[in-house]
Amino acid sequence: MTDIETALGDLVVANRILANENVVDAYGHVSVRRPDDPERFFLSCSRSPELVSREDIMEFGLDGEPSGGDDRTPYLERFIHAGVYERNPDAVAVVHSHAEEVLPYSITEEPLRPVIHSAGLMGARVPVWDIADRFGDTTLLVIDMEQGRDLAGALDEHRVVLMRGHGFTAAARSLSEVVRLSVMLPRNARILTTALRFGRVKELSEGEIARRLRMNPDGPEFWRAWEYWATRAGCAEMLEGHPNRGG
Ligand code: MN
């Protein structure tokens, strides 16, 4: 299996996992940078993640335009992905989601922060980007490169940025890592929201977060989750022959 084939297969599995774990629904998307060309990335055409198959994957440049005259309808918000890849060379995979659990933290002063061990990779601080700050009254959607770049600037070197009244965007070092981050983020938000009713909350320390981030994002303990989620999502057969599949 070539790196490209692996990346495309993983991207389909990532779409199915995110849908099955309720991170995305009709909307939301996931992309991966092209392994042999950092100036390009793969992202589905405009379909719901649960329905995405290998044939739906399109290739884009860092300006958000499709490669090679591909005239299929792309996602309106593909500029989110283009902006992040253009700004941060370390970003290998990106998720955009409208997960409801995180939205209260995008419209209030209460900061979203990691409170459970598996959410440590979201980092200590999650900035909130408000599209109105620079663009005034919009549909709240990120529909051009200027808006994508502005969002990417707010994300900067963080792992997650909340988008006011809209959702979140997450970036990570691999597809499996960005999927894990995106699955854990709403769970962490749900637990934080519950705990805040009781009063003061103890979050992960800076040192704990740093140690979580030093774990190998594609180590065998994380493959276990990928295999589990892929199987639940009905695409276990797509893992056949995968290079990360160990004993
Ligand atoms: Mn959106």
Residue reference for tokens 């940078």 = 33
pLDDT in tens, 146-160: 999 999 999 999 999
CA-CA distance, 18 to 20, in Å (whole number)?
A: 6
pLDDT for 80 equals: 98
- Kindly give the distance from the C-alpha atom of residue 193 to the centroid of ligand 1, in angstroms, as a whole number: 22
Domain tally, the chain = 1
On the question of pLDDT at 93 being above 60, the answer is yes
Q: What is the mean pLDDT of residues 51-56?
A: 97
**Residue 246 domain flag:** no
The SS3 call for residue 96 is strand
Look up the domain containing 201 and give its range: 3-236
Residue at 241 is within a domain:
no
Beta strands per DSSP E along 133-247: 160-163, 167-172
Residue 181 exposed, middle or buried by CB count within 10 Å (0-12, 13-18, 19+)? buried
Distance 146 CA to ligand 1 centre (A): 16
Q: How far is CA 149 from CA 45, 53, 146, 153, in A?
A: 21, 29, 5, 6
Summarised one tens digit per residue, pLDDT across range 106-141 is: 999 999 999 999 999 999 999 999 999 999 999 999
Positions marked active-site: 77
103 within some domain: yes
Check which CATH number belongs to the domain holding 140 and give it: 3.40.225.10
Positive or negative, the Cα torsion across 209, 215, 219, 221?
negative
pLDDT over 70, % of the chain: 99
Residue 246 confidence (pLDDT): 64
Q: How far is the CA of 1 from the centre of ligand 1 (A)?
A: 33
Alpha carbon distance 226, 232 (integer Å): 10
Q: How far is the CA of 26 from the centre of ligand 1 (A)?
A: 11
Asked, for residue 244, whether it belongs to a domain, the answer is no
H or E stretch covering 151: helix 145-155
> Is residue 106 in a domain?
yes
pLDDT digits (tens, 9 = 90+) for 20-50: 999 999 999 999 999 999 999 999 999 999 9
CA of 73 to the centre of ligand 1 (A): 16
Place of tokens 């099955």: 20
